[in-house]
Amino acid sequence: DLTTKECIDSIRSVLDDHKVDILVNMAGIGIYKSLEDLSPEDFFLSLQLNTMVPFLLTKITMDYLKKSDIGLVVNIGSGAGTMPFAGRSAYCTSKYALRGLSLSLSEEYREQDISFLLITLGSTMTTFGGKSITAQEEKVKNGNAIFPVEYAAQEILNQIKNPEREDEFVLYPSEHGFGKWKKPSN
């Protein structure tokens, strides 16, 4: 529980013994349920893991990042943080909030040599959200756009290494030749 003083002190004691150049916030949870099936506990858990934990980890590491020559916070967002999906209100809400947090902090720290990079990631071949790899592979056979994990990881690493990176990097599979799905236009 990152909200307890004991946990924060424990993290700081580990950080005190190490140089921190980059924080990557990528742990999360995909709770995909309709409003009627969604419990308040599910909704809170989604917000806690997808938004509050990155906020707390960023806050805890800020003093260490200020001492770094790199000072970069990478937040792994989602296309669900830019557009609504039926049956995913908890997940979308938490990822919209993470996007707002990351882009706001990017503005806040722009003059302080700390960078924020939001990776707005589309579908990736994982079991995230309770989907099996077999089900994902079947979607690909039907033309759905899903990234191989290795490709997405390499693109994220390329952005981390890119000194000219933007505050947000949108990584949708169809825009990289992986299927037919296109981001809806506004």
pLDDT tens-digit readout, 40-91: 999 999 999 999 999 999 999 999 999 999 999 999 999 888 888 899 999 9
pLDDT over 90 (residue 149): no
Which residues, 6 or more positions from 68, have their beta carbon under 8 angstroms from its beta carbon? 19, 20, 21
- Tell me which of 26 and 142 has the higher pLDDT: 26
Find the mean pLDDT for residues 153-176. 86
The residue ranking higher by pLDDT, 181 or 185, is: 185
The pLDDT of 120-141, averaged and rounded, is: 72
Superfamily per CATH, domain 5-176: NAD(P)-binding Rossmann-like Domain (3.40.50.720)
Residue 129: predicted pLDDT: 65
> Are 83 and 183 within 8 A, CB to CB?
yes
Closest CA to 124 of 60, 172, 61: 172
Tell me, what's the pLDDT at 8?
Answer: 80
E strand or H helix at 171: strand 168-171
The pair of structure tokens assigned to 51 is 């938004």
- For the entire predicted model, the pTM comes to 0.84
Measured CA to CA, the distance from residue 148 to residue 28 in angstroms comes to: 19
Q: Strand pairing partners for 121? A: 171
Cα–Cα distance between 59 and 185 in angstroms, integer? 34
